[in-house]
Structure 1
Amino acid sequence: MASTDVDISTLTEAQQLALQQVTSVTDQDLASAIPLLQKCQWNAQIAITRFFDGDADVVDPVAEAARAPPPPSTARRQETLLDSIPARSLQRGRREAGLEPAPRIVPTPESQLTQPLPFPLSILVLPFSLTYTIFQRIFGAVGWAFPFLPRLLSRLFSGATSRPSRDAGRRPLSPRDTAARFTREFEEEYGVTHGTLPFHEGGYAQAFDVAKRDLKYLLVVLISPEHDDNASFVRETLLAPELVEFVSKAENNIILWAGTVQDSEAFQVANALNATRFPYLSLIVHTPNVSSSAMSKVATSAGPVTAQELIAKLQAAMATRQEELGRIRAQRQEQQATTNLRREQESAYERSLAVDREKARKRKEEEAVREKSERETREKEKQKANYARNLAQWRRWRAQSIALEPGPDVKDTVRISIRLASGERVIRKFAADSGIEELYAFVECHDLLEEVNEKESPKPEGYEHVYSFLLVSPMPREVYDLEKRGTLKERIGRSGNLIVEKVVGEEDGDEEVIED
């Protein structure tokens, strides 16, 4: 539910006008009216209809308000100024045009019409209530036995032109349910299939609003079962094929709303439309020559009438209003076309803006990926350069510390034949107590042994050398790695024949390549 903490001064002029209309019609307080208007997108007509129909939870007011075309700004300004025009001016305009006003009738809920008596007072009036009930049952039995008596008394006391009367015994329902009940009873009583006549499925106020919004004709049919002409009118006129076809044609733009005066809503509509004779029909339509929001009766029919006469009267009334309605429809279509064009332009602009944003985002991502790749490449090149520089310095430093080959006078030696990775074979003697790392260092620095000068080369700081090869005995195959400590004599013996196998790193596929 929408929040009710709304400052009235912060509302726009149109919202304040809608709030004033809703509170004046529904007699709601602000705490209840504001949430209803917010739910109905500040559409006063829909909010009033939903309040009295009691179907705000069944029908989505937001979707209904969204489907309703927004009124033009000029119409809103005229309707606001309309409140300051005296009622006599509007009545004079209707008299000059020969029209009668058609008010918008919203039925009062039955719960607001009658209030239950307090318990002590109900005990006091209980004897009178019982007496009234007994006499009512007696007169009801007499009326059932002699049906002509109620009609005779009605004619004697009310005269020839009687006002409509309602049946207080009928259960009061919401306007939508009342319309459904009338349609069901009508079809059952006269034996017609559902949909023969396109009765409006909502209340009178809703049909009134739809006719006003869509510039359609509202044909109101009021019947009274107490009148003798009711049944013949329905069978011979209302259900006549030509009238059914005329009302059902889409090009005639007719909304058919019907009711029986036994129901509260139809009873109130009959009183508001000054219906004194039944069956009663009234054609209501928007009349802009009176005011920008006026709805007027352009044709009425009371009492029996043939289908041909009724159709002729309706066609004549519709012909006189066709030009005005056509002009207003053309204006609304032009305004709607302008609105649609503006929306399409805004939508195209938003799509173009979204495409530009997507391109900018992709370009930014590509630039970020390219910069990252370039940065990683520079880092790798820098690391390679540092590694190459440290490796060269380490090799010069390690070549200086390799012991010279023992002379012929040294008996305890180990003779090793090594085939290098380049294919060159080197035979050299090592001291028997030399470690296996000495042999690896010899192979690593072999090409620098002859170039060692007297100037000492320092060991590179922070560099840990890792040999990229293994020394392997071919037959039988045995790897002499650095993990196993020991002297050359202990590991190899007096002599040995070794080959150098290059160890390929991760960048080269984590594979070992044996060079023979």
Structure 2
Amino acid sequence: MPDPDFDITSLSEEQQLALQQFTSVTDSELNAAIPLLQKCQWNAQIAITRFFDGDADTVDPAAEAARAPPPPPSQPGRRSETLIDSLSPRSHSSRRQHDQRPDTVPRIVPTPDSQLSRPLPFPISLLLLPFNLTYTLLQRLLGTITYLCPFLPRLLSRFRPSPPPRRRHLNPRDTTARFIRDFETEYNLSPHSNTLPFAESGYAQAFDQAKRDLRFLLVVLLSPEHDDTAQFVRDTLLAPEIVAFLNDSAKHELVLWAGSVQDAEAYQVASGLGVTRFPYACLIVQSPAAETGSGGGAGMTRVATFAGPVTAHDFLAKMREAMAKQRPELEGLRRKRREQMEGRSILREQASAYERSLAQDREKARVKREELAQMEKVGREAREKGERIEEARRRREAWRRWRARDIPAEPGSEVRDAVRISLRLLSGERVVRKFRPEAGVEEVYAFVECYDLVQERPEDFSEKEPTGPEEGYEHDFGFRLVSPMPRAVYDVKAGGRIGDRIGRSGNLVVEKVVGEDDDDDEDEEEAGEER
């Protein structure tokens, strides 16, 4: 702890600026501020972070201060220039161009929990291993003593001051919800009256929403330790005209995000925006002049700033003036985006129409291929059927020529028991022929089947005639022999001799047996005749 009579004038100008920035944000006493700043190598940003997070022992402040950029100069508005620089017109023009550049706002993402504390290197961890083991053993021993003597913690708490409560680190959405909940509780706000339209998301999400929807983003940063915060909230933010204006603007063109610098995210936002005085508010909007910038916040600029206490009238007037000035540019951006969306919609419709036309062409080609395939299939089946019929006819004809040669000649008068049969053929012709009684019924069927060939002379048969039926061929007689009076069917499959089944004589009629193949053939012949 420094001496109460510590002379502040002994500090350098940069150290005094760091001390002033730290006390204005944290509202701490000099006795507490100077030691922490000395530990942090007089880096105000690191000291403020350690003050609110309460984890100054987690990382090495000296190493972090060495890596951090140096603090800003004591008087940023003052410029040092020589006489030659003042007389140079080029320096004046470059300075004016620098002043006219848009105040680009970065997109700030909170530091993940895994990066808040960095593990020590392995050699240092190995050196500290005995101390860690000793600390663990002592902690367990004291825990056992506390469990056996529960009055000791309450007794010891009287002799040491209780540490200030630490704010739990949450994700951005939960942090914003906790801020809104604390804000409504502290200022006695009901859910349906005097409620500000806070965005219930993190800063990065609100930033992206404003950039995506081409809206204004109003960022409000509060420091509960600052004396002007309560007055600013009650007299300015919660003024009826301000509440009505923000609620009406939030419906169409405004996103309101607020946070407390006691939370890590809001503090990082304050550091990124370069905030040095609280309460703080700024209006951010997308500007075409800044779209050529780099980084995640390219195109988002700060057009209005409120640092410190401000009256509701001045706040509302400045907001309306800045929004009215930026609306033409926003309308131009919206018009450009609508044109782009319309162009993309037209391209999508054209692509969709092309896909539909291509699908129709593919369907027509598919139907045509199927029709051609069906026609080829029908033709192939017709050819195969014709070939089968032709082959069946050829084999049938070969069997008939072979069977006609093997039919014995009609017995003469010397055969007294010959069977005389009168046959009425399918053509209506009546034929009378004698058969030997010991011959089978199949011989009568063969005679009828080969009647036209039997009429030929033996010399008409060539030597190349088949000597037997083809292998695997089974002849099917397409008719049956029937005795009309009384009606009796002499089936060839029943076998038997002619003399036993028919007797000495018989009158037989040849009846055609109609099958499925014959029906198909007749149908095809009729269809051909119709064509």
The TM-score range, normalised by the shorter chain, is: 0.5 to 0.7
The equivalent residue for 2:169 is 172
Map of 1:96 onto structure 2? 100
Q: Distance in 2 between matches of 1:414 and 1:475?
A: 18
Asked whether the equivalents of residues 396 and 452 of structure 1 are also in contact (C-alpha less than 8 Å), the reply is no
The offset of 1:119, in angstroms, is: 5.3
Q: Is the 8 A contact 1:416 1:428 kept in 2?
A: yes
Aligned position for 2:256: 256
1:181 paired to 2:191: no
SS of the residue corresponding to residue 411 of structure 1 reads coil
Cα deviation code 1:153-172 (max 9, x no counterpart): xxxxxxxxxxxxxx971111
Between the aligned partners of 1:469 and 1:231, the Cα distance in structure 2 is 119
> Does 2:190 align with 1:192?
yes
Contact 2:197 2:250 in 1 (8 A): no
- Aligned residue for 2:344, secondary structure, equals helix
Counterparts of 1:136 and 1:428, CA distance in 2: 147
CA shift at 1:234, angstroms? Answer: 4.3
8 Å contact 1:421–1:500 — kept in the other structure? Answer: yes
| Mapping 1:154-303, distance limit 5 Å | 169-189=166-186, 190-193=188-191, 197-231=196-230, 233-234=232-233, 237-239=236-238, 242-248=241-247, 249=249, 252-292=252-292, 293-303=298-308
Offset of 1:277 from its aligned partner?
A: 4.0
What is the correspondence of 1:447-466 to structure 2 with a 5 Å cutoff? 447-452=452-457, 454-457=459-462, 458-459=465-466, 464-466=474-476
Check if 1:363 corresponds to 2:368.
Answer: yes
2:334 to 304, 329, 337: 329
Partner of 1:19: none
Q: CA deviation at 1:374?
A: 1.9
The 5 A counterparts of 1:88-167 are 93=97, 95-97=99-101, 99-115=102-118, 120-121=130-131, 138=161
Contact 1:287/1:295 (<8 A) preserved: yes
- Picking from 353, 356, 381, the partner of 1:348 is 353
Distance 2:372 2:458 in 1: 51
1:268–1:358 CA distance, 2 compared to 1 (3 A): same
Q: Deviations over 1:105-143 (max 9, x none)?
A: 22212442234675545557999xx9xx97996276xxx
Taking the aligned partners of 2:379 and 2:165, their CA distance within structure 1 comes to 90
Contact 2:250/2:256 (<8 A) preserved: no
Cα distance in 2 for partners of 1:396, 1:274 equals: 117
Q: Does the Cα contact within 8 Å between 1:504 and 1:510 map onto a contact in 2?
A: no
Judge conservation of contact 1:471–1:481 (CA < 8 Å) in 2.
Answer: yes
CA RMSD of aligned residues (A): 4.0
- SS at the partner of 2:369? helix
Q: Indicate how the Cα distance of structure 1 residues 470 and 171 shifts in structure 2: closer, same or farther if over 3 A, else same.
A: farther
SS in 2 for 1:300: strand
SS at match of 2:419: strand
Letter in 1 for 2:246: V
Output the CA distance in 1 between the equivalents of 2:308 and 2:176.
23
Equivalent residue, structure 1, for 2:383: 378
Contact 1:105 1:205 in 2 (8 A): yes
Compared with structure 1, are the counterparts of its residues 227 and 498 closer, same or farther at alpha carbon in structure 2 (3 Å cutoff)? farther
Change (3 A) 1:465 1:110: closer
The CA distance in 2 between the partners of 1:92 and 1:483, in whole Å, is: 122
Whole-Å Cα distance in 1 between the matches of residues 98 and 476 of structure 2?
107
- Cα–Cα, structure 1 residues 484 and 300, in superposed 2: closer, same or farther, change >3 Å? same
Aligned-partner Cα distance in 1 for 2:337–2:222 = 36
Instruction: Using the TM superposition, give the Cα deviation of residue 303 of structure 1 relative to its aligned residue in structure 2, in angstroms.
Output: 4.1
Higher-Rg structure is 2
SS of structure 2 residue aligned to 1:466: coil
Note the C-alpha offset of 1:494.
4.2
**What is the Cα deviation at residue 265 of structure 1?**
0.3
Aligned equivalent of 1:433: 438
Distance of aligned partners of 1:121 and 1:336 in 2 relative to their CA distance in 1, 3 Å threshold:
farther
Structure 2 unaligned blocks of 5 or more? 1-92, 121-127, 140-152, 293-297, 522-531
In structure 2, what is the Cα distance between the partners aligned to 1:106 and 1:472?
107
Structure 1 residue 504 corresponds to structure 2 residue 507: no
Structure 1: how far apart are the matches of 2:484 and 2:315? 119
- 1:476 positional shift: 7.3
Q: Secondary structure at the match of 2:460?
A: coil
The aligned length equals 392
Sort the Cα spacing of 1:92 and 1:323 in 2 relative to 1 into closer, same or farther, 3 A.
same
Name the amino acid aligned to 1:468: G
Asked if structure 1 preserves the Cα contact closer than 8 Å seen for 2:104 and 2:290, the reply is no
* Amino acid corresponding to residue 446 of structure 1 in structure 2: Y
Percentage of identical aligned residues: 56
Q: Aligned in 2, Cα 1:288/1:340: closer, same or farther, shift over 3 Å? A: same
Shift in alpha-carbon separation, 1:362–1:100, aligned structure 2, 3 A: same
Partner of 2:449: 444
Query: Structure 1 residues 194, 379: CA separation in 2 closer, same or farther (over 3 Å shift)?
Result: farther
Instruction: Write the deviation string for residues 50-92 of structure 1: whole angstroms up to 9, x where unpaired.
Output: xxxxxxxxxxxxxxxxxxxxxxxxxxxxxxxxxxxxxxx9997
DSSP-derived class of the 1:138 partner: coil
Q: Is residue 236–residue 310 contact of structure 2 (8 Å, CA) maintained in 1?
A: yes
- Provide the residue aligned with 2:143 in structure 1: none
Segments of structure 1 that go 5 or more residues without pairing to the other structure are: 1-88, 141-166, 512-516
Partners of 1:470 and 1:278 lie apart in 2 by 120
Q: Which amino acid aligns with 2:169?
A: P
Q: Retained in 2: the 8 A contact 1:433–1:487?
A: yes
SS of 1:289's equivalent in the other structure is helix
Give, in angstroms, the shift of residue 283 of structure 1: 0.8
Distance in 2 separating the partners of 1:134 and 1:94: 59
Q: Which amino acid aligns with 2:100?
A: E
CA distance in 2, matches of 1:194, 1:501: 105
C-alpha contact (below 8 Å) 1:420/1:426 kept by paired residues: yes
Contact 2:281–2:307 (Cα < 8 Å) also in 1: yes
